[in-house]
Amino acid sequence: MEKIYFISDVHLGAHSARIEEIKLQRLSAFLANMQNHANILYIVGDLYDFWFEYRHAIPKVSLRILFQLNQLVEAGIQVNYFTGNHDLWIGDYLQTQIGFEVYREPYSVTHNNVQLFIAHGDGLAKGEKRLRFLKRIFNNPINIALYRLIHPDIGLPLMKLFAKKSRERGENP
Strand partners, 79: 41
pLDDT tens digits, 65-118: 999 999 999 999 999 999 988 887 888 999 999 999 999 999 999 999 999 999
Please tell me the distance from the alpha carbon of residue 102 to that of residue 54, in angstroms, as a whole number: 17
3-state class (DSSP) for residue 43: strand
Separation CA 23–CA 35 (nearest Å): 19
Verdict on whether the full-model pTM lies above 0.85: yes
- Polymer length in residues for the chain: 173
Closest-CA residue to 3 (of 66, 76, 83, 71): 76
Do the Cβ atoms of 82 and 107 come closer than 8 Å? yes
- How many other C-beta atoms can be found within 10 angstroms of the C-beta atom of residue 47? 28
Write out pLDDT tens, residues 112-160: 999 999 998 776 666 677 777 888 888 889 998 999 999 999 998 898 8
Sign of CA dihedral 12, 13, 19, 21: positive
Q: How confident is the model at residue 24 (pLDDT cuts 50, 70, 90)?
A: very high
Q: For residues 95 and 134, give the distance between their C-alpha atoms in angstroms, rounded to a whole number.
A: 25
Coil, strand or helix: which one is 107? strand
Domain ranges of the chain: 4-168
Mean pLDDT of 13-42: 94
3-state secondary structure of 21: helix
CATH number for the domain running over 4-168: 3.60.21
DSSP H or E run through 42: strand 40-44
